Amino acid sequence: MKRYRFRLEQLLALRHAFEQAARAELASALAEEREREGNYTAALASYRRVREMLAASSDVATFCKQESWLSMAAASLSNARSKLAVATERREQARIAWMRRSREVEALERLKERYRIRHEQESMRQEAIEVDSIVSARFRAEAIQAAVTSSAGGEDD
């Protein structure tokens, strides 16, 4: 019986490559999201500090100056929040793409395994047929030999 060969092996290799690329994209998106979370946390801390300083200020000039700082800190916080939202969405899209690619690979792997099992079963069936053929031929040969021996032994009498 010939050696097993999965006909879709090239497609499986291509799907593996796509899955690896999707996994790399997901890793990149996760790293970006973590960075954006750090930026948001830093902007939030800065905003809180400025707000505390504003609450503690006593003279009008300092209050006005710190109020503009608070406005800038609020803008920075809003910007960091929106960038974090974009990064989170990118990460989610990358996760969905990776899961889809992973399912495609798993489906081909299952198909490959089913075909391999079917090939092994067919190989065993072919071997059984060959063994039966050999045993039958041997049995016929022994029967013929016994008939020839008995007929040759009967002529001597």
The predicted-structure confidence for 66-75, as pLDDT tens digits, reads as follows 888 889 999 9
Q: Check whether 42 has a pLDDT greater than 70.
A: yes
H/E stretch holding 39: helix 9-56
Q: Shortest CA distance to 72 belongs to which of 101, 99, 43, 97?
A: 43
- Residue 16 is predicted with a pLDDT of 97
**DSSP state at residue 2:** P
Q: Check whether 62 has a pLDDT greater than 50.
A: yes
- Residue 59 is predicted with a pLDDT of 78
Q: In degrees rounded to 5, what are phi and psi of residue 74?
A: -65, -40
- Residue 153 is predicted with a pLDDT of 66
Q: Check whether 156 has a pLDDT greater than 60.
A: no
Buried b (16+ CB within 10 A) or exposed e, 43-66: beebbeebeeebeeeeeeeeeeeb
Q: Check whether 149 has a pLDDT greater than 90.
A: no
Q: Shortest CA distance to 92 belongs to which of 35, 7, 33, 156?
A: 33
State pLDDT tens for residues 101-134: 999 999 999 999 999 999 999 999 999 999 999 9
- Domain regions of the chain by residue span: 9-155
Do 33 and 88 meet the contact criterion of CB atoms below 8 Å apart?
yes
Does CATH number 1.10.287 belong to domain 9-155? Answer: yes
The one-letter amino acid code at 134 reads I
Do 19 and 84 meet the contact criterion of CB atoms below 8 Å apart?
no
Averaged pLDDT for residues 47-62: 82
Q: Check whether 18 has a pLDDT greater than 80.
A: yes
Residue 119, burial from CB neighbour count under 10 angstroms (0-12, 13-18, 19+): middle
pTM: 0.71
Give the integer Cα–Cα distance in Å for 144 and 150: 10
- Residue 116 is predicted with a pLDDT of 93
